[in-house]
Every structure is written in structure tokens, then in C-alpha cells.
């Protein structure tokens, strides 16, 4: 059972589902549809992680042999069945939410998202940079999805607009993290003949793009505060995230823009924490929005 929980990567799935809750906090509106939407995104993200491990089991056998599939704790067949069950439950939840918010466009959006998540693991991941943008876009879209639920539930156009801004912010930050993950996996990806951006254009170019994206992430955070969207609590907490982003940039520069696998692993960890702190800043800063 532990292996089936681990393969979901619950920390990442939770990070994907939290935007629904955060959007509800910013909009000061909680409902059954918001709760179900949070669960739905968690399951969809988990299903995506399972599918990703199915397609990447050979690469993971080199890079991450302790993962459930390469370690033999879950077979490929059972992993596919598991992903199918998660998608099926998500589909049912999407219909229930569509009924609650009286808009079946929501179910269509979820169906399209499921197709994109599968296509990413099957096709897009192998496309340099484009695959990273797809992942970042899906993460950012979770905020928009939360805004859409509130738009349909209470006709709040303002919170939907804000959810789009926050979604763009999250997308940019996560594209940067995905690039670092590709740099971390260069060895295994090369063995499988993958053509990720770091393999085709080198770690130096990847590091430069990552640093520029992180700089843009910080700039957008500051602009959001300047626009008066969030209160002072947002800015105070974001200072912590800023220091973490700064460390990530420092680590890349200190490695002469050619980070080793261990450095990439450390940078990924700090970026994940920085994003979590950013979400906390947005939550705290919206209490009096």
C-alpha cells in the first residue's frame, strides 16, 4: 500500500491541488464544489505521476531505481490499472462538480486536461522546452480552474481575473523547476535517447533560461503587490521565498552554470520550498482582499 501512495508523489499532487483552496481563500468562498475540485486535482495529478512513471520506468531504473516500478514494488500492469481508476474517479467528480456549479464546460475542461496529461508523458515530455512549458502551464492552470469554479458559483469575475494572474506566475516558476529537473536527469535521459533541452543545448543554456525565469517570477510577485492585489503580509512572507529563489540562482551560478546532479537535486528542493512559501504568501496576503 505504501508503494501505491508513493507513486502518486503526494507532495507534488498536494501542491497541484492547493491552488483550488488558495483561490477560494482569495475569493472568500468555500463550498462543496471547491472541496471536490481540490480532491479531483489531487487525483488527476497523482494519475499523471503514475502514467509518467509507467513511460519512464527504464529511465528511472538508472536515475531513481528506488521508485515503485523500477524497484519491483508495483508492476507496469498494475500501475496502468491504478492510473485508470484514478482517472475514472476524477471523471465522476468532474460531473458532480459540473452539476453543482451548473456548467458542464467544467467536465469538458477536465477531460481535455486528462488528455494533455497523458499526452505529456507519451509525447510532449520528449520535446525540448515545450514539454517543460506544458507542465508549468498545467500547474498554473490549476489556479484558473479554481477561479472558474468561483466564477460559476458566485459570478465573481474579479477573482477569476486574479486567478489568471497567479496562474501565470505559477506557470513561469514551474517551467524553471522543470528545466532543472531535466538537468538532474541528463544521464538517464541520454541512455534512453531522450532529447531534452539540456541534452540538446547543454546545461549552461538551460541554467541561463532558468535564472531568467526565476527573475521573472520574482518580478511578477513584486508587480502583484504593487497593483494592490495583496496586503503587506504577502510581501513580508514573500521575502522568505525570495531568499530561497536567490539561493537557487546562486547555486547555479556557483557551478559555472554547469550544475552536477547533486546540485540540481538541491536546487529543485529549494525551488519546491520557495513555491510553497509563495503560496503561503498569496494566502496570507489575500485575507483582507
pLDDT at 128: 83
pLDDT of residue 113: 93
The residues of the chain scoring below 50 in pLDDT are: none
Q: Is 2-285 in CATH node 1.10.600?
A: yes
Domain residues of the chain, as ranges? Answer: 2-285
Predicted local distance difference test score (pLDDT) of residue 288:
60
pLDDT score, position 122 = 85
Would you state the pLDDT for residue 282?
Answer: 87
- Which ranges of the chain does DSSP label H, i.e. alpha helix? 2-6, 10-26, 32-55, 57-63, 76-101, 105-122, 130-154, 157-184, 186-191, 197-226, 232-254, 261-285
Question: pLDDT value at position 162?
Answer: 85
* Exposure class string for 139-170: b at 16+ Cβ within 10 A, else e: bbbbbbbbbbbbbbbeebeebbebbbbbbbbb
pLDDT of residue 78: 94
Amino acid at each position: 500500500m505504501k508503494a501505491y501512495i508513493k507513486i502518486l508523489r503526494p507532495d507534488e499532487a498536494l501542491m497541484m491541488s492547493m491552488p483550488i483552496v488558495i483561490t477560494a481563500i482569495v475569493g472568500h468562498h468555500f463550498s462543496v464544489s471547491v472541496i471536490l475540485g481540490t480532491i479531483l486535482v489531487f487525483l488527476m495529478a497523482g494519475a499523471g505521476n503514475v502514467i509518467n512513471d509507467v513511460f519512464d520506468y527504464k529511465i528511472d531504473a538508472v536515475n531513481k531505481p528506488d521508485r515503485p516500478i523500477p524497484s519491483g514494488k508495483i508492476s507496469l500492469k498494475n500501475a496502468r490499472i491504478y492510473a485508470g481508476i484514478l482517472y475514472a474517479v476524477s471523471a465522476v467528480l468532474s460531473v458532480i462538480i459540473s452539476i453543482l456549479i451548473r456548467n458542464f464546460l467544467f467536465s469538458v475542461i477536465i477531460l481535455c486536461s486528462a488528455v494533455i496529461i497523458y499526452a505529456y508523458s507519451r509525447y510532449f515530455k520528449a520535446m525540448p522546452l515545450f514539454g517543460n512549458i506544458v507542465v508549468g502551464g498545467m500547474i498554473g492552470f490549476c489556479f484558473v480552474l479554481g477561479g472558474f469554479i468561483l466564477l460559476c458559483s458566485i459570478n465573481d469575475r474579479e477573482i477569476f481575473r486574479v486567478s489568471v494572474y497567479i496562474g501565470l506566475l505559477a506557470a513561469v516558476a514551474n517551467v524553471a523547476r522543470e528545466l532543472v529537473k531535466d538537468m538532474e536527469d541528463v544521464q538517464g535521459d541520454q541512455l534512453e535517447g531522450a532529447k531534452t533541452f539540456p541534452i540538446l543545448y547543454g546545461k549552461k543554456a538551460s541554467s541561463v533560461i532558468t535564472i531568467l525565469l526565476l527573475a521573472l517570477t520574482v518580478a511578477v510577485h513584486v508587480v502583484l503587490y504593487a497593483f494592490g492585489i495583496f496586503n503587506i503580509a504577502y510581501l513580508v512572507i514573500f521575502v522568505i521565498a525570495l531568499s530561497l529563489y536567490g539561493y537557487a540562482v546562486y547555486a547555479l551560478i556557483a557551478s559555472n552554470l554547469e550544475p552536477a546532479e547533486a546540485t540540481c537535486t538541491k536546487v529543485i528542493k529549494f525551488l519546491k520550498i520557495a513555491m510553497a512559501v509563495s503560496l503561503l504568501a498569496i494566502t496570507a496576503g489575500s485575507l483582507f482582499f
